[in-house]
Structure 1
Amino acid sequence: MSRRLITEVAGVIAAPVEEVWPVLVQRVPSTELGEHSLAYQGGWWYRGEWSVTADPEGTRLVHRVYNVAGNHWAVALGNRLFIGFRERTRRGFAEGLAHIGTQLGCATRLA
């Protein structure tokens, strides 16, 4: 599969991986599920990947968005040249991160 990274965002959740992982699995629809990673592929170009790893503060959550349609010009045009895409992704990620923190009763922060 050809893919190109569009954006990446990360955050830290003040809870262990064992508590964060099941919450993430419930929140994110997945088409592929690994040990501590999951992916969702939707539409004709989008692939989102999430992973959790241990962090000195608890758990590090990383979200990456890939273009899996290759260098097809229509991907950029269909997404308005990705203007504002990174900021919207970061904002949505921050909201999801805060929701996980609320659900687990712990602090979160963007990395």
Structure 2
Amino acid sequence: MKKLITEVTGVVAAPVERVWPVLLENVPSTETGEHALAYQGGWWYRGEWSLAPHPEGTRVVHRVYNVAEWLRWGVPLANRLFIGFGRRTREGFAEGLTHIGAKLGCATRVT
């Protein structure tokens, strides 16, 4: 069972076919699918990224889940009740989008 902790989305002004390889280069992954990848680390963390066509280019979605199978109740305590976690995730995501945009020579924005 996984519980959504936070979600952030953005747009890259390039088609999915151009964004996908750059995302693969920059996000460690343990699973990949069609324009989706996931990284699972530690005892609770799972990050999932997905790409989809958007009128401006590509919509990028990043979700963070709690996937702890034991001591699930301890995850918020271990992460200081996730205070500021959403903000930090959004900031990291924005930096990642900026990097992708710089590599592709196009605009990006967090939505």
Q: What TM-score do the two structures reach when normalised by structure 1?
A: 0.97
1:24-103 alignment, distance < 5 Å: 24-69=23-68, 72-103=72-103
Match of 1:9 in 2: 8
Aligned position for 2:107: 107
Output one character per residue of 1:9-49: Cα deviation in whole Å (capped at 9) or x when no partner: 00000000000000001100100000110000000000000
Mapped partners of 1:47, 1:16: distance in 2: 26
Q: Could you tell me how far apart the structure 2 residues matched to 1:100 and 1:72 are?
A: 34
Name the structure 1 match of 2:18: 19
How far 1:100 moved relative to its partner? 0.3
Number of matched pairs: 110
CA distance in structure 1 between the aligned counterparts of 2:65 and 2:105, rounded to whole angstroms: 31
1:92 alignment partner, SS class:
helix
Deviating above 4 A after TM superposition, structure 1's stretches of 4 or more consecutive aligned residues are none
CA-CA distance at 1:72 after TM superposition: 1.8
Amino acid at match of 2:105: G
Q: Tell me how large the CA RMSD over aligned residues is.
A: 0.9
Percentage of identical aligned residues: 73
Question: What residue identity is the alignment partner of 1:93?
Answer: F
CA distance in 2, matches of 1:8, 1:101: 20
Q: Which runs of 5+ in 2 are unaligned?
A: none
